Structure 1
Amino acid sequence: MRGRMKHVAVIVGHVLLVAFAATALFPLLLVLINSFKTSSEVTANPLAPPTELRLDNFAEAWNYGHFAQGFVNSFILTFTTVVVVLVCSSLAGYVLAGKKIRVWPAVMIYFMVAMTVPIQLFLFPLYYVFAQLQLLGNVVAVGVVIAAINMPLSVFLMRTFFLKIPKSVEEAALVDGANTFQLLRSVMLPVVSPGLITVATIVGLMAWNEFLITSTFLQGGEESSITATLGYLSMNGTFSTDQGVMMAGAVILVAPIMVVFILLQRHFVDGFVSGSVKG
């Protein structure tokens, strides 16, 4: 009887997982199907398959959405954000996990408070500073701002991964003559590599999809500093009535994110599971 109940529970769990997966994937499939239709076909029946594959929707979306320049700027923005976050959060997480400073409780409280403060409160002061330093439209500078926004969560995650490393590992490396830099580079960071991948994935997705900060500091009307997200949103005025082209633009925008997430999914899940044991 116990084995039968366990078998039923497994079946029910798989059914629920399939239902959740279908709920998440259905909108994406619907966007993909409608990206090959004309606007009239989308309006008539968005659930019906296309009568013919209109690949020119993708060509129009690519040209009018300035995706060529947008993808370059989005990559620079995301790369800058991820690098800054990984360097700073790994160092801060190592220090806070080891309680290597006396005021570490105050620092933890500071990061907790920082997570609750909305970024809208700092938009005007930041804009003034950017204007004074002539950094408006600078993709790298905006990446640093986005990194600062995501820093509290990243520090908490990295601290959790460092807490899982036994103290004896660090002590053994120090006894063998390793300095702090060698300890971090050769011992600690390889052990917390799942955490680095998890943080990089989360922060990278947030940076790629960022709209509020980029539209404020990158002056989205200029093609030289436009990101892929801003390029897609700039299509609303021209193709607001052509749903086929808008759907094609959405596919172009989402496709890189889906590919990266699928490639890193295993490491992402492993990182979350291993980092959720101790906090």
Structure 2
Amino acid sequence: MKHEVKLVESRTTLLLTYGALGIALIVTLFPIALLVLNSMKPATQIVQNPLAWPETFRWDNFTRAWDDARFSTTMLNSAILTATTIILVCSTASLTAYVLARRKVKSWKIVTFYLLGTTTAPIQLFLFPLYFGFAKLGLINNPFAVALIYTAIFSPFAVMLLRTYFLAIPRELEEAAQIDGANHWQIFTRVMLPIVSPGILTVALIIGLYSWNEFLIATTFLQGADNMTAIVSFFLLSGQYSSDWGEIMAAALIIVLPVVVLFILLQRRFIEGMAGGSVKG
């Protein structure tokens, strides 16, 4: 009797779990499905009924969106800016996290407070001073300068996450490498980095997503038509009095697609990296 009750309870729990996951899946995929559906409609049909199946498939929405948003230029700008930011953040954050994890820092509480403060502080607090300072230095419309701003914003999060990976590595590995004659740089590059590579990949994916979608700093510091990013050119597609929603939906799908494909290809490593970063230090 007890066995039957436990079996019924386990089945109920399983059904509730799958039901909750199914609802979460529908809520997550519904906006994407709606985006794909409306990207192939004429604007008038979207306004009449955004949930209806397309009466005619407007594939030219994608070609017009690509040309009008100048994606051949702006997406390349976004890719260069995102790649530069990822390289800067991963290189500086991994070095900083290694030192904080392997050296006793007397002012660790102050460092933690600083990292948390810079992570949670809104960028609007620093936007005007940064703009005037960069304007004085002639760094407006300079993608590398914007990458430096992104690095300063995203590095605290990356440092705190990567520090947990380094703390999880046994010190015996480091001591064994020292006995073999390796210096600190060789230990870091040949022993530590290969072990924490899932964490670095996780940081790269998160920072890349933030950099690709960032709008406020990009539209403030990259004002030239040849320097703007894809998200800014997408914003400019919307007119003041009228908008071609079919073209806008197609442009949104073009911007989202590279990120979705990249995440699908690397999702297993990303999940492993997030699970490894949950270790408390």
TM-score, length of structure 2 as denominator length: 0.94
Q: Label 1:233 to 1:125 Cα distance change in 2 as closer, same or farther (>3 A).
A: same
2:250 to 219, 235, 248: 248
8 Å CA contact 2:40, 2:246 repeated in 1:
yes
What SS class does the counterpart of residue 236 from structure 1 fall into? Answer: coil
The one-character-per-residue Cα deviations of 1:140-172 (angstroms, maximum 9, x if unpaired) are: 110111111011111110011111111111111
1:56 to 44, 60, 74: 60
The reply on whether 1:32 has 2:23 as its aligned counterpart is no
- Tell me the residue number matched to 1:264: 266
Q: How does 1:57-96 map to 2 (within 5 A)?
A: 57-96=61-100
User: Distance between the aligned counterparts of 2:226 and 2:243, measured in 1?
Assistant: 27
The one-character-per-residue Cα deviations of 1:169-209 (angstroms, maximum 9, x if unpaired) are: 11111111111111111110111111001111110000000
Q: Label 1:89 to 1:193 Cα distance change in 2 as closer, same or farther (>3 A).
A: same
TM-aligned CA deviation for residue 47 of structure 1: 0.8
TM-aligned CA deviation for residue 74 of structure 1: 0.2
The one-character-per-residue Cα deviations of 1:114-141 (angstroms, maximum 9, x if unpaired) are: 2232111111111112111111111111
8 Å CA contact 1:112, 1:152 repeated in 2:
yes
User: Distance between the aligned counterparts of 2:102 and 2:185, measured in 1?
Assistant: 15
1:225 to 224, 227, 230: 227
- Tell me the residue number matched to 1:236: 238
TM-aligned CA deviation for residue 233 of structure 1: 0.4
TM-aligned CA deviation for residue 238 of structure 1: 7.4
Greater CA drift, 68-77 or 111-120: 111-120
The reply on whether 1:179 has 2:190 as its aligned counterpart is no
- Tell me the residue number matched to 2:119: 115
Q: Label 1:239 to 1:160 Cα distance change in 2 as closer, same or farther (>3 A).
A: farther
Give 5+ residue unaligned stretches, structure 1.
none
What SS class does the counterpart of residue 128 from structure 2 fall into? Answer: helix
Q: Label 1:38 to 1:239 Cα distance change in 2 as closer, same or farther (>3 A).
A: farther
User: Distance between the aligned counterparts of 2:198 and 2:115, measured in 1?
Assistant: 22
- Tell me the residue number matched to 2:20: 16
User: Distance between the aligned counterparts of 2:186 and 2:6, measured in 1?
Assistant: 53
- The percent of aligned pairs where both chains have the same amino acid is 45
Q: Label 1:198 to 1:106 Cα distance change in 2 as closer, same or farther (>3 A).
A: same
Specify the code of the residue in structure 1 equivalent to 2:226.
S
User: Distance between the aligned counterparts of 1:41 and 1:232, measured in 2?
Assistant: 21
The one-character-per-residue Cα deviations of 1:224-247 (angstroms, maximum 9, x if unpaired) are: 101100010010127943111111
User: Distance between the aligned counterparts of 2:261 and 2:198, measured in 1?
Assistant: 19
TM-aligned CA deviation for residue 110 of structure 1: 1.4
